[in-house]
Structure 1
Amino acid sequence: MQSVQKGFFVSRRATKNIRFDALQSVRGLAAVVVVLRHVLACYPLPSHTAAVIVFFLFNSPAAVTLFFTLSGFVLVHALEHRQFAVRTILAFWTQRVFRILPALMAVTVLSFLYTRLPISGWPLAANDPFMDGLLLHDMPLSPAGLFKCLISLSGALIPQNWTVLVELIAAAGFPILWLCSRSGARAFLPLAAFTLVLAFCAPGGGKGLPFIYSFSFVAGAAAYRAWQNTDIRLTGVGVLLATIGLSLPTTLLTEPETLGAYFNSSTLVVPEAVFAAILLFGLSRDETPIARALSNRPLLWLGDISFSLYLVHFLIIAIAGRLLTPWLPAMPVVGRDLLVFVVTMLIALPLSHLLYEFVEKPFNNFGRKLASFWRAPRI
């Protein structure tokens, strides 16, 4: 196959109409990991050893880094064969806004309505104090505060809103990353080094999060170009080692009880992004056994609804905890956590499916139609 451009990254592989089914399934599984981890944050395990083991196996900070790295991978793929032009950038931004904000706004409204219902004031039992502050009954929220929640500037109604804001900020600058990855190593490698420096020099607090996670998007773009320009395949052992590596930084460098102080540390995020990129690269080959095993309809459906599931799960944990309060105190810890998780999933999965079908898909389609008015032609 002949090269179509010059430079370190040379687009040799035909990329039109390719679906990365295994990666879609991984997105869904990562969302389930986040749900389980947040159930355990609300109803923690008393044993430190058990908490470390469960946290290694179901590592939500690593799952968040994986989400961002996966975005870097698939967004470069989505822009492939497009001209770098103002029309292309406007079309890209339009699609990202309609991909992200409608579901966010829908779940924000649901969460707001929940805080105004009597159930949000029902008592809780056997829970962590964190749970007591989650979606408070009659939460005081001004119109300006509600608007900030609707556009991901506040986490009052959706605590994980900061990740949505990172995605939106990354979308603003992503066309530059895409251009650099097309232009060869002379542009891409300095950009990668720059984002690496940004990650380690980012200011503390929420304002530094887009800088800390910027390297994740670069790592995802590099994984895509590696898939595109090499014939290397990871064995099942390689994929397993990448998965283990993805979870190791948080497990080795933090404790479950003190994770909050280090969750967004570049010391964790950067190695997580590297291993996430290796994992995505390994699973991007559809012909490998693990990729084929992941490419089944139930897992693909889970991937389809993963964004809504990720957004809605805290609301459902709050509901499930209050519904189950009469029974939880008398239950053993493992049974308690398992019951809350199962009930959460039983409610969250169908609700996420409805959000996907009636909010995400219609607005995604509308965003694509709107973007088509100024999308540049393929090359």
Structure 2
Amino acid sequence: MPMANTLNHTALHGSRLPELDALRGVAALVVLVHHALVMLGPIDLIDGTLIGRATHTLLNFSFFRLIKFGRGPVLFFFVLSGYVLTRALLKNGSPGLLAFAVQRCVRLLIPVTASVLLSCTLYYLVADPLLLQGPLDNHSLTIWSKPPDVAAVLREVALLQTNQDLTRLNNVLWSLAHEWRLTLLLPLVLLFHNRIWLMLALATAATGFGAMFSADENFVMLGAELHGSIVATVYFALSIASGAALALAGRLPALSREQRIAASIGVVMLAGMTADLAVYLASVLLIVLAQQPGRFQQMLRWRPLLWLGRVSFSLYLIHSLIMVAWLCLLYEMLPVWAIAVSGALLALLATPVFFRCIERPSRDLAKAVERRLVRTLPGKVAAAPAPP
């Protein structure tokens, strides 16, 4: 069946799309479940039985590996950020490189700083170093292995951490380090408005460069030293570029039922692969599917998912801290699985507080700072014209 007409949004790059917020919320929830499983410690599911082998296969070589390894949702965050931020630039025009970069710093670094300070506070309130370095070593999500110090706080607040740092205060900040660096100068993608393939080619070359020097393709997180972490950031360039390219391409096609089914199968199969590039493609397909009229879009507009999407950044930032603090408090009082489950629920309850007190004010401040800089600095670029 030939492809139908393009989707009729309120505008090409119009108002915020709630279904994309919902997808971000679902991805944050998957990361939460992943960390709850990690808290249980290493689990050997290959016990020789048919059920054991089947479970091992599902968790390692299928769509469900997103839950076990937790990497896929983070890569989806990258692609979605590239799409949403570029879409906003196309609608509103670029505020200028400096104004945009300052806005991104305020938007991300204030919540990051608050999460690091929260981590330090929780450590000194509830942590037991002997437990964390002993029986809880395999359950503490790699944070608090050493007491916080000023150097560690400054390093994580500035998103300059490496794989060799012994003191980790928030285990999710590795991804924000890359997203922050890659989106600081994102308005430059507008230069590729009619040269999308050139942008993708350059991003692919950057990813290849990062893969060559990281020596850990598909498992890259941070480098052993700061320059290695910068190379790791370059490795993730194609993720942001993939989302940006989708936004630059213009109106999304309205897919037929058969095309939606084929794309859905593609998402499930690609997301179950080890390759990061496959997850990028799955993410692009998922963003397209979410904007197709139908049951999937209606499901994503379910009120609880919209709420989860709205607070997803806060949930992502604080859930590990809450869960590990809860573990320190209740260890030997409850089984670890019960602590992990209740800790995840507690993190969900604490998220709205962090959102109202930290994230929302920082977001509003970021917008205000950007508007102020746009008024005082030259260089604002007009909104890009819609492609035919």
Q: Which category describes the TM-score, using the shorter chain as reference length?
A: 0.7 to 0.9
The whole-number CA distance in structure 2 between the counterparts of 1:199 and 1:149 is: 22
Conservation of the 8 A alpha-carbon contact between 1:227 and 1:284: no
The whole-number CA distance in structure 2 between the counterparts of 1:60 and 1:157 is: 19
- Cα–Cα, structure 1 residues 128 and 272, in superposed 2: closer, same or farther, change >3 Å? farther
Match of 1:63 in 2: 73
Picking from 140, 156, 172, the partner of 2:184 is 172
- Cα–Cα, structure 1 residues 132 and 158, in superposed 2: closer, same or farther, change >3 Å? closer
- Cα–Cα, structure 1 residues 271 and 170, in superposed 2: closer, same or farther, change >3 Å? same
1:184-223 alignment, distance < 5 Å: 184-185=195-196, 187-204=198-215, 206=223, 207=229, 208-223=231-246
Name the SS for the 1:158 alignment partner.
coil
Matched letter for residue 261 of structure 2 = V
Matched letter for residue 46 of structure 1 = D
2:40 equivalent to 1:43: yes
Matched letter for residue 242 of structure 2 = A
Name the SS for the 2:373 alignment partner.
coil
The whole-number CA distance in structure 2 between the counterparts of 1:132 and 1:189 is: 39
Q: Quote how far apart the aligned CAs of 1:239 are.
A: 4.8
Conservation of the 8 A alpha-carbon contact between 2:327 and 2:340: no
> What TM-score do you get using the length of structure 1 for normalisation?
0.79
- Cα–Cα, structure 1 residues 211 and 186, in superposed 2: closer, same or farther, change >3 Å? closer
Contiguous gaps of at least 5 residues in structure 1: 1-11, 251-267, 330-335
- Cα–Cα, structure 1 residues 77 and 127, in superposed 2: closer, same or farther, change >3 Å? farther
Picking from 256, 262, 265, the partner of 1:241 is 265
Picking from 101, 120, 144, the partner of 2:109 is 101
Spell out, residue by residue over 1:229-269, the C-alpha distance to the aligned partner (whole angstroms, 9 max, x if none): 5344675524532431343213xxxxxxxxxxxxxxxxx21
Higher helix content, 1 or 2 = 1
Conservation of the 8 A alpha-carbon contact between 2:133 and 2:145: no
Conservation of the 8 A alpha-carbon contact between 1:125 and 1:325: no
2:317 equivalent to 1:306: no
> What TM-score do you get using the length of structure 2 for normalisation?
0.78
The whole-number CA distance in structure 2 between the counterparts of 1:123 and 1:104 is: 26
Q: Quote how far apart the aligned CAs of 1:22 are.
A: 1.4
2:86 equivalent to 1:76: yes
Spell out, residue by residue over 1:300-344, the C-alpha distance to the aligned partner (whole angstroms, 9 max, x if none): 110111111111121122123234423545xxxxxx53x334312
Q: Quote how far apart the aligned CAs of 1:361 are.
A: 0.9
Conservation of the 8 A alpha-carbon contact between 2:319 and 2:348: no
Spell out, residue by residue over 1:52-73, the C-alpha distance to the aligned partner (whole angstroms, 9 max, x if none): 5346422511111101011111
- Cα–Cα, structure 1 residues 236 and 127, in superposed 2: closer, same or farther, change >3 Å? farther
- Cα–Cα, structure 1 residues 214 and 133, in superposed 2: closer, same or farther, change >3 Å? closer
1:346-361 alignment, distance < 5 Å: 346-361=345-360
Spell out, residue by residue over 1:129-151, the C-alpha distance to the aligned partner (whole angstroms, 9 max, x if none): 3335844387052x232111212
Conservation of the 8 A alpha-carbon contact between 2:30 and 2:73: yes
Conservation of the 8 A alpha-carbon contact between 1:115 and 1:135: no
Matched letter for residue 111 of structure 2 = A
- Cα–Cα, structure 1 residues 278 and 195, in superposed 2: closer, same or farther, change >3 Å? farther
Match of 1:183 in 2: 194
- Cα–Cα, structure 1 residues 162 and 77, in superposed 2: closer, same or farther, change >3 Å? same
Match of 2:4 in 1: none
Name the SS for the 1:230 alignment partner.
coil
Matched letter for residue 77 of structure 2 = F
Name the SS for the 2:11 alignment partner.
coil
Match of 2:122 in 1: 114
Match of 1:53 in 2: 58
The whole-number CA distance in structure 2 between the counterparts of 1:377 and 1:198 is: 31
RMSD value over aligned CA atoms? 2.9
Spell out, residue by residue over 1:147-169, the C-alpha distance to the aligned partner (whole angstroms, 9 max, x if none): 11212223710122111110111
Conservation of the 8 A alpha-carbon contact between 1:43 and 1:128: no
Match of 1:272 in 2: 279
